[in-house]
Structure 1
Amino acid sequence: MSDSPLRYERLTPQTARVTFTHAPVNLVVGATAEQLAGIVDDLATDQQLQVLEFDSAVPDFFLNHFDLAHLADFPPADAASGREVWTDITIKLTAAPYITVARIRGRTRGGGNELALALDLRYASIEKAFFGQPEVGTAVVPGGGGTERLPRLIGRDRALEAVLTSQDYDALTAERWGWVTRALPDAELDAYVDGVVARLAAFDGTALATAKAMVNRASLPPEGDVVAAYGEFLHTTTLPGYRSRAGAPLPTGEQALQLEYHLGAFLGQAALRRAATPEPESEARQ
């Protein structure tokens, strides 16, 4: 597998695909944001593209959370819009005239889930797809639009549960709540998504783009709210709650891999252990 965290393929004049390839767990790193931003900007002037699909080549992980240990490696804000790069990517994809389709197998969390929420259609494997916003469990807040887009899809109370508890949710729950467009048996996922992509690619591109823009008017959060969320996320990374957790020793090897497989459960267990262990007096006073 290439060192690149993703690859881009033009499949036909009307269709293209972005595949996430950042093994072993598809963390979002600076290079992910940089390459994806370049692809989105290049496609802004493409008059033929009608469908951009997203999938993963990493088993069990579609697109994961940010690698917070290397947040400083993320590209600077977009020069034209002034928006932080991940915010800029998600806003541009949502507003793009082409239709974006996710073929989701594996864990889809944090920034990865926020990218998926910014896409138009999300199809998930019942057996293999899981979703979550784990930020609060690490003493930060979602910054890529999760707190703005998720309530509009699943309602305020369910969004609060998902964000505040940092749990993982299976694909059937996600479908029932409206988090994904449709959940399908894994053996049927490819044929179904291939059919949707082929159907959209055969339609009139102008009609597709116009219909998407009309639905966007009725359903999207204000861009200013999405922009503000990233600033609030960055601020929480400077606070004592996050710094104390970031300074703790991190698991490595197989233990680190298992943590990513079961992140929602781990965060809850770690919080309960932390609450049961009295802080040293010097830390409690900070």
Structure 2
Amino acid sequence: MTEHGMFSITTVAPKIRRVTFTNPPVNVVGAATVTQLLDVVDELSQDKEVQVVIFDSGTPGYFFNHADLAEVPELLALNAADGTPTWVDLVTRLTSAPFISIAAIRGRTRGGGDEITLAFDLRYASREKAVFSQPEVSIGIVPGGGGSDRLARLLGRDRALEAILTSEDYDAERAEKYGWVTRAVPDAELDDLVNDVAARIASFDKASVLGAKAQINRSTLPPVADLRASWAEFAESVTWPGFQARVPRLLKAIDEIGLDEIEQNLGYYSGVINQQA
């Protein structure tokens, strides 16, 4: 096993690796998360033996959660050497990586964490434990760097609008029905399914696997220019009065109700917070 801060890499089989994200208590995504995950993707991309990578969580109840609101300035300040926002660099490297990425999703997957999850190639969800949301609109901002761009292609225009404009929590059954995830299965079956799919793909010729991925990417992925535009719009939206007014209300609710209760039911509480306006 190798460690990259919040991430550990385990060898499952000669061609299969498992990457576990652990950032308790609720797996929020901050600036260090982004840079460490980029390091993980780079390391695995350079290993010619790696063909399939499984991504899971070491924090019960949470997969990749929303961005850490306390670190928004740091996230916005991250840029690659060519000026590309580091977040955009991360999600585009994931989709173009020379391996197949498979998400084994147990727990809350929201906002920025959902945008990372949408960049994985395959997404398998626990029917009992997985929850999905893009909550940005409920706190006065817009998604940035992938949420709206990818969901519109996966769900269709109207369902993407419903998901983003309502900021509701979607259970795994509805996420599967809408196309948000590849498949939702009973929690007891999730590990076997993910392991079986990973082993089957790893048994095939790598050139044909990556060639097929490249063809599908060409037909389905949003242009990088769109991801850049969404990120710029997100960056602008954090200056809007609506966001500035809602963040104190959200922080007050966390103090009064408790972080875990808010995070477990963010879709509900984001509606309550807006009713207080």
- TM-score, normalisation: structure 2: 0.93
> How many Å separate the matches in 2 of 1:94 and 1:115?
10
Structure-to-structure mapping, 1:104-183, within 5 angstroms? 104-183=105-184
Shift in Å, 1:253: 8.1
Secondary structure (helix, strand or coil) at the match of 2:19 reads strand
| Aligned counterpart, 1:267 | 270
Compared with structure 1, are the counterparts of its residues 78 and 252 closer, same or farther at alpha carbon in structure 2 (3 Å cutoff)? Answer: same
How far off is 1:40 after superposition? 1.4
Distance in 2, Cα, partners of 1:234 & 1:5: 25
Distance in structure 2 (CA, Å) of the matches to 1:76 and 1:140:
19
Offset, 1:224: 0.3
Distance 2:255 2:209 in 1: 47
Task: Measure the CA separation in 2 of the matches of 1:189 and 1:106.
Answer: 13
Instruction: Please report how far the alpha carbon of residue 8 of structure 1 lies from its aligned counterpart in structure 2 after TM superposition.
Output: 2.3
State which drifts further: 43-52 or 250-259.
250-259
Runs (4+) of structure 1 moved beyond 4 Å?
Answer: none
Cα distance in 2 for residues equivalent to 1:253 and 1:99: 43
- How do residues 19-58 of structure 1 correspond to structure 2 at under 5 angstroms? 19-58=20-59
In the alignment, structure 2 segments of 5+ residues that lack a partner are none
Q: Is 2:136–2:143's contact at 8 Å kept on the other side of the alignment? A: yes
Q: How far does the alpha carbon of each residue in 1:154-196 deviate from its partner, in whole angstroms, 9 at most, with x for none?
A: 1100000100110000001011111100000001111111100
Pairwise CA distance, 1:201: 1.1
Instruction: Decide which of 76, 79, 85 is 1:77's aligned counterpart.
Output: 79
Rounded to whole Å, the distance in 1 between the matches of 2:173 and 2:45 is 34
Contact 1:28 1:112 in 2 (8 A): yes
Counterpart-to-counterpart distance in 2, 1:51 and 1:253: 44
Distance 1:40 1:209 in 2: 16
Quickly say closer, same or farther: Cα 1:3–1:40, change in 2 above 3 A: closer
Counterparts in 2 of 1:86 and 1:10: CA distance versus 1, 3 Å: farther
Q: Offset at 1:254?
A: 6.2
Partners of 1:252 and 1:9 in 2: how far apart? 37
Amino acid at match of 1:269: V
Provide the alpha-carbon RMSD of the alignment: 1.7
- So what's the TM-score if we normalise by structure 1? 0.91
1:241 — aligned with what? 242
How far apart are 1:153 and its partner, in Å?
Answer: 0.6
Q: Percent identity?
A: 49
8 A Cα contact 2:108 2:132, kept in partner: yes
C-alpha separation between the residues in 2 aligned to 1:36 and 1:207?
Answer: 26
Secondary structure of the corresponding residue to residue 23 of structure 1: coil
CA deviation digits over 1:210-242, x for unaligned, max 9? 000001111111110011111110111112111
Whether the 8 Å contact between 2:246 and 2:274 is mirrored in structure 1 is: no
Q: How many equivalent pairs are there?
A: 272
SS at match of 1:124: strand
**1:84-135 per-position Cα deviation (integer Å, ceiling 9, x unaligned):** 1121111111011210100000010001111111111000000000100000
The 3-state SS of whatever aligns with 2:103 is: strand
Deviation of 1:25 after TM superposition, in Å, equals 0.7
Residue 172 of structure 2 aligns with an amino acid whose one-letter code is A
Q: Shift of residue 24 of structure 1?
A: 1.0
State yes or no: 1:17 paired with 2:25: no
SS at match of 2:20: strand
CA distance in 2, matches of 1:254, 1:35: 32
Native 8 Å contact 1:104 1:125 kept in 2 = yes
Rg: which structure is higher?
A: 1
**Maintained 8 Å contact 1:64/1:108:** yes
* 1:9 Cα deviation after fit: 2.4
Q: Which residue of 2 aligns with 1:60?
A: 61
Q: Describe the SS at the equivalent of 1:140.
A: coil
* Cα shift at 1:45: 2.5
